[in-house]
Amino acid sequence: MTSPPHADGRAGIDAALVRRLIASQFPQWSRLSVVPVEVDGWDNRTYRLGETMTVRLPTDEAYVPAIAKEDRWLPVLAPSLPVPVPPIVGRGEPGEGYPFAWSIRGWLDGDLARPERIDDMPRFAESVAGFVRALQSIDATGGPPAGAHSFYRGASPAYYDGETRRTLAALAGRIDTDRAAGVWDAAVQATWRGAPVWFHGDIAANNLLVKDGRLTAVIDFGTSGVGDPACDLVIAWTMFSGDSREAFRRAVGQDDPAWARARGWALWKALICLARDIDTGSDTDTDIDAGQAAVHRRVIDDVLADHDHSA
């Protein structure tokens, strides 16, 4: 989702800390097992608590508002959505040397949305589009306006204009920076003029759960809020392609300026991630980071091609 302000913010969080927090604040669950989840994120550490719950702990102060936001709004959003979202079970306070508020959620069954787990990708894309449309249809009155808590998802991509242009300069000679600059200029100029709606902020494979090839749940609303939903279209290039991309585009709707802004969001993230990989030397290594660099390059190429096709 987002990048950690301090990567070492995870260091003090482990299963032993979670057990102490549970014992001191939720003693009724102190005998339950505490096990790290298989795939974790940077913003929060997540542990499975027994068979039916998870514990979610922010890794840095910058991510604490997301916990409070999810605790407040997920129960409001859940009844209007086509698949489950994390139910809030308990709210923890700082303690045992851990300085932030934390949360206990209900466990949702399903596996992370990997292509090999989905036998009909266009149908899956339509399901994701249906979730996005349902989220947008929920009354946004009083919802948290896009801002620092959402890392400016839901605002104009122009918030990241300086960072994007510096990254383009750093990648000169490695990608087609002239075409990429054209995509970015179009995104910044495609002003959003609609009424604020709910957005998730990180519709991505790691936040979509599947079972028997179908979408079963959506998790991690840490970058959610109320504003411009163009950021929720990025999955068109990060996960979908060909028929599934077209299926998503048809089912989710949105006007041409929204798609221009979405291309900007996808390009920004792929650029900064690719630049990071190159800076660490992994762009030329035959390791997992090199594989990630190839993914970022593919997203950039697809976004540029999509922009050319839309012109």
The pLDDT value given to residue 232: 98
Q: What pLDDT is attached to residue 286?
A: 45
For residue 222, the model assigns a pLDDT of 93
pLDDT tens digits for range 235-254? 999 999 999 999 999 999 99
**Residues 166 and 268 both lie in one domain:** yes
pLDDT digits (tens, 9 = 90+) for 28-51: 999 999 999 877 777 889 999 999
Quick check: is 290 in a domain? Answer: yes
* The two three-digit tokens of residue 137, written as one number: 């249809």
Look up residue 206 and give its two tokens.
């790691």
Residues 25 and 119 in one domain: no
Q: Which of 72, 107, 142 is the last residue of a domain?
A: 107
Q: What percent of the chain has pLDDT over 70?
A: 92
Number of independent structural domains in the chain: 2
CA–CA gap between residue 211 and residue 3 (Å, rounded): 29
Alpha carbon distance 74, 294 (integer Å):
35
154 and 291 belong to one structural domain: yes
∠ Cα 90 96 100 (to 5°): 55
70-96 pLDDT tens trace: 999 999 999 999 999 999 999 999 999
Residue 311's pLDDT band, with cuts at 50, 70 and 90, is confident
Domain C-terminal end among 107, 125, 155: 107
**1 found inside a domain:** no
Q: Read off the pLDDT band of 10 (50, 70, 90).
A: low
Q: What is the dihedral of CA 295, 134, 89, 216, to 10 degrees?
A: -60
Residue with the two structure tokens 């549970």: 22
* Residue 110, C-beta contacts closer than 8 angstroms, at least 6 positions apart: 209, 210, 211, 216, 217
Q: Is the pLDDT of residue 279 over 70?
A: no
Domain that holds residue 219: 112-310
Q: How is 46-93 classified by DSSP, letter by letter?
A: EEEETTTEEEEEESSGGGHHHHHHHHHHHHHHGGGSSS--PPEEEEE-
Model confidence at 291, pLDDT cuts 50, 70, 90, reads confident
Kindly give the pairing relationship between strand 53-58 and strand 102-106: antiparallel
Asked which of 107, 131, 146 is the last residue of a domain, the reply is: 107
Q: Which residue has the higher pLDDT, 154 or 285?
A: 154
